[in-house]
Amino acid sequence: MKKGIDMYNYERMFEATVRTMRSSKITELNKKLIEKFYNFCYANGIGKPRVIKYVRTLRQSII
């Protein structure tokens, strides 16, 4: 993502999404797999908005 003004505050949204995922009822193994996945996404240049969508979708589909 380009550096500059983040008018949608994706950093805060991402932190809230991860916090929700970590406190959800899914297993520890699934939580670790989701964390590995979003780290992989960042390493490959996928932007925060898309990673937020992926994490939310994965968490909801596992529950």
pLDDT band at 2 (very low <50, low <70, confident <90, very high): low
Sign of CA dihedral 30, 34, 35, 36: positive
Indicate whether 4 belongs to any domain.
Answer: no
- Considering the domain boundaries, does residue 47 fall inside one? yes
| Phi and psi at residue 5, to the nearest 5° | -75, 130
Mean pLDDT of the chain: 93
Please say if the pLDDT value at position 3 is more than 80.
Answer: no
Domains contained in the chain, number: 1
Range of the domain at 55: 11-18+26-62
Asked if residue 45 belongs to a domain, the reply is yes
Phi, psi at residue 9, to the nearest 5°? 55, 55
38 part of a folded domain:
yes
- Percent of the chain having pLDDT more than 90? 86
Contact between residue 50 and residue 41 where contact means Cβ atoms under 8 Å apart: yes
